[in-house]
């Protein structure tokens, strides 16, 4: 089997698939809400660390096929970053809704359990992902809510082309939109633990405090936080300036 970039990867042997929703770490295209408060090079490096730690978290799971779904323009760069063990697939269409729809259209076959996972929650406990797969065994779908009204993972065992058509994708209404579509499709929904991803300054400050206590949860990101610690502290005190 080959990735969309032509890199050979092992044939899938598991009925569990974890697909990371990612972008290539290019300046100005990732973590844009943080870029208003931190140097662009720092934000780009930060996302690269988040993605590296997310891949490490995924690979710590047992008996799971790992893949990346991304915009077509990012496939080659992400394939180089991810290495030969991870398939990188180009989504069809633009935006997050199209990417999530592409995940299940591409990977859903034979009742495999597929979970799409964001690339900026590498500090999530591995047990939460394991439990999400278990929850999916007993439900049509599973969702992991974020505290801001979105979700950090969503899973299903089949492709539902209209599941991600609800209003509010990428906003505080994303979870409500997803649940509304699931109700319309008469799908059962299991719920994973609530968590947070890293979108705004408050999220970054919370992550810095967490990784100061337990840096092994996301070691690459913890190193970045040490390098940019002064800037993060200034964000916390409201004295940051570029």
pLDDT tens for each residue of the chain, 242 residues long: 334 443 434 445 689 999 999 999 999 999 999 988 899 999 999 999 999 999 999 999 989 999 999 999 999 999 999 988 899 999 999 999 999 999 999 998 878 999 999 999 999 999 999 999 999 999 999 999 999 899 999 999 999 999 998 655 556 789 999 999 999 999 999 999 999 999 999 999 999 999 999 999 999 999 999 999 888 888 776 655 44
Contact predicate 93/16, CB 8 Å: no
Q: Give the CB-side neighbour count of residue 119, counting CA atoms within 13 A.
A: 25
In order of 24, 40, 78, 208, the CA distances from 150 in angstroms are 22, 25, 25, 21
Question: What pTM was computed for the model?
Answer: 0.90
What domains does the chain contain, in order, with CATH numbers? 16-198 (3.90.550.10)
3-state SS track over the chain: CECCCCCECCCCCCCEEEEEECCCCCCCCCCHHHHCCCCHHHHHHHHHHHHHHHHHHHHCCCCCEEEEEECHHHHHHHHHHHCCCCEEEECCCCHHHHHHHHHHHHHCCCCCEEEEEECCCCCCCHHHHHHHHHHHHCCCEEEEEECCCCEEEEEECCCCCCCCCCCCCCCCCHHHHHHHHHHHCCCCEEECCCECCCCCHHHHHHHHHHHHHCHHHCHHHHHHHHHCHHHHHHHHHCCCCC
- Do 176 and 166 form a contact (C-beta atoms < 8 A)? yes
Confidence (pLDDT) at 146: 94
pLDDT for the residue 9: 46
Number of C-beta neighbours around residue 167 at 10 A: 11
- Smallest Cα–Cα separation from 120: which of 40, 200, 178, 64? 200
């Amino acid at each position: 089997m080959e990735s969309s970039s032509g890199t050979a990867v092992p044939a899938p042997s598991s009925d569990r698939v974890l697909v990371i929703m990612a972008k290539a770490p290019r300046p100005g295209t990732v973590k844009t809400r943080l870029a208003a408060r931190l140097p662009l090079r720092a934000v780009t490096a930060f996302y690269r660390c988040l993605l590296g730690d997310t891949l490490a978290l995924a690979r710590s799971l047992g008996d799971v096929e790992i893949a990346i779904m991304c915009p077509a323009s990012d496939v080659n760069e992400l394939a180089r970053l991810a290495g030969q063990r991870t398939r990188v697939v180009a989504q069809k269409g633009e935006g997050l809704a199209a990417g999530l729809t592409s995940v299940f259209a591409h990977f859903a076959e034979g009742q495999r359990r597929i979970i799409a996972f964001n690339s900026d929650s590498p500090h999530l406990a591995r047990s939460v992902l394991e439990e999400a797969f278990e929850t999916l065994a007993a439900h049509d779908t599973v969702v992991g809510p974020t505290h801001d009204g979105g979700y950090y993972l969503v899973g299903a065992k089949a492709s539902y082309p209209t599941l991600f058509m609800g209003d509010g994708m990428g906003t505080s209404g994303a979870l409500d939109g997803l649940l509304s579509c699931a109700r319309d499709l008469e799908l059962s929904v299991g719920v994973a633990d609530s968590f947070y991803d890293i979108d705004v300054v408050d999220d970054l400050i919370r992550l810095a405090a967490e990784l100061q206590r337990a840096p092994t949860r996301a070691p690459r990101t913890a190193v970045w936080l040490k390098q940019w610690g002064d800037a993060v502290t200034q964000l916390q005190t409201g004295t940051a300036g570029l």
